[in-house]
Every structure is written in structure tokens, then in C-alpha cells.
Amino acid sequence: MTVSRIVTPDEFKQMMSYKVYAENHNQQQSMKLQLLKGVEEAYGERYWRLKEGTRKAIDMLCWFASERGFVFAKDKYLSDRYEVSAKTVRNVLKELREAGIIFTVYRRSSTQNCRTAPVHLFTAHPYFKYWQNMLDLHDFQNDFQNENAEKPYESKEEQPKIVSTKYLSFNKNLLKILRKQDRLNSSFTPKNVPGEFVKAAKPFFDDAEDIYDLWKKASLVYRQFDLLHELEQYTELVIDALKQTIYAYKHRKIRKDFKGYFYGTLLKMFTYQKRQETFTSHPSIFNWLEDQEEKSAGSTKNWRAEIQELMAKEERDLDDLIEELPY
């Protein structure tokens, strides 16, 4: 029997609303180093042989947990951010769990009566005793330890044989299909993603999740600008940004990750679009500039040249901003 504690939505809400232990950056950094020290001791010399991305993922787990003693970041978030596999993150959490560094409970789904996202409690954090009492984890820990202690003494002859059924092979094959990371091709992309974008991305990303993530990047950038039309009206602009990003990737001009470069390209193109719509919908701007030009007829630089200079300066500032974005 697998023992696991299911945290109800109300309990998790109470955990999230609890006061923060590390109130400022220095306190949070100090607590993170304390938690990280326990992880390093559990790994020993092997810790420094881990890949850099794996160590960064562990560091981020300790940073998240420094505030309230627990972390609920998903495996995929850490794997995508530090370019390691989700299996590597799960293996790290399993080893920390077996070493007693963390204790894992699970949040209950709001739509199903089952466990969903895990919540990892760091046992070295000062708040762990509080969560232990609040969630009544003493019995769960004892049951889990007793269960593990009993296993080595069981006789193989006493264990019941697994009864095969005619559905067993079907279930195994079905699980293999469902567990594949690339099980959903582009035809499974959600309907809110325009077909033109899916068609353009399909030759390079024949995976529904990848295509959907790219469109979410476009949606994220779009919400930063108060444009005249819905995002779907700018599908061609998004496709153009995707093509430019793919071109840069093929020519090895992307120094960090593909999605980050795509985000920066979208930011730049939507800035141009916003500027164009602003000048188009506000002709009075031109009239005001023309009046200024008439007043300063003797000037060697007219208003059009000034606008060009302002646009060039804005473009340089935007390029600097994109370079500094933490993708």
C-alpha cells in the first residue's frame, strides 16, 4: 500500500496564506543556503558531479521553499527552465525524499477526488513542525517507515502471484502510448490556436504542446499592448515572428533558448504595430507637428526627421531591453 497525504484545497489555501518566514532577500538567501547545505550533505561528492542545470533546479527548489518551507513547482517548469529532463527532476526529488530532506504531500484536484500536483515540504525548515502538526503527518510518516521496514522480510513464496487478464496487454500498451511525451501531434492543438499558425509551425514543431506554448507566448506579448483588434487578427504578424526566429535559429544567432528569442521578436513587432495604429488613429498628432513645422520654418530639421530619430532611439532601447530579458 502506498501511503500519501492528500491536501484539501482549504488546507493548501491556509498554507499559502501563512506568514512568510523569510521577509527580505537576505533572510531568504540565508535560509536557501541552509536548505541547500542539507541537500549537498545528502548527495555528498556526487552533488558536484551533477549537471549544472540539475544543480540550478535544486537551488531553485531551495529558494522557493525558503519562504514557507514548501515548494509546489511542477517538474515540467523546472525542466523547461534549466533544460533538464522531467525525469531528472523526479529522480532528484525521489532521492531527497528517501534521504529525509523532503516529505511530499499531494494537492487534491478540484474536479476529481484524486491526488494531483505534489507539494514538497523541507524537513530542515523551521516551519516543517508546523506543517507536520497541521497536516497530521506523524501517522503517515510512521506508516510509510513501517511499510518499508516490512518489505525485506517478506518471502517471495508468500507473495500472491499476479493474475493475468485478457486486458493486461491492452492496458500496458495504452499506458505506453499515453506516457510518451510526443504522443499528441499537431492535430491535437487546442482550437483557440488559429489553423494558419498551426500549419506554419507544423513542419518544425509537430507537437501540440509545443505549438500551444508558442501561441501562449504570443498571447502574453499581445496583452501588453492595447491594440485595436483581437490577437487572431494579427496571426500573420505572429507567423512572421516565428519565421524570423526559425531563421535565426538555423543560422545559430540564438544565444539562449528558442522561445525566449521568439518572445523578444514578438515584443518588437507588436511595438511597431502599436506605433502604427497610434499614428493612424490619431491624425491630430500629425496636425500638431505640422503646426510646429510652420512656426519653425527656418529650422534645418523638420518634424519628420525628428520622428525618425525618436523611432530609431526607441528601437535601440527596445533591443537593449530584449537582450536583458531573463528568458
How do residues 32-67 score in pLDDT, each as one tens digit? 999 999 999 999 889 999 999 999 999 999 999 999
* Mean pLDDT for the chain overall: 78
Give the Cα separation of 130 and 11 in Å (integer): 13
- Give the residue from 106, 146, 104 showing the smallest Cα distance to 128: 104
Helical segments of the chain, H only: 9-17, 25-43, 52-68, 75-82, 86-98, 128-134, 138-150, 168-179, 195-201, 208-222, 235-250, 258-281, 284-295, 303-324
What is the arithmetic mean of pLDDT over 125-142? 79
Class for the domain spanning 6-153: mainly alpha
For 213-253, the pLDDT digits (tens) are 899 989 988 988 888 889 999 999 999 999 999 988 888 88
DSSP code, position 55 = H
The reported pLDDT for the residue numbered 207 is 83
The answer on pLDDT for 327 being more than 60 is: no
Residue % of the chain over a pLDDT of 90: 33
pTM value is 0.44
The reported pLDDT for the residue numbered 127 is 92
Task: Calculate the dihedral angle through the C-alpha atoms of 164, 170, 176, 179, rounding to the nearest 10 degrees.
Answer: -100
Enumerate the domain spans of the chain.
6-153, 186-324
Q: Find out whether 232 and 194 touch, Cβ atoms under 8 Å.
A: yes
The answer on pLDDT for 125 being more than 90 is: yes
Which one is predicted more confidently, 149 or 256?
Answer: 256
Residue % of the chain over a pLDDT of 70: 69
For 165-203, the pLDDT digits (tens) are 444 454 555 555 555 544 578 888 888 899 999 999 988
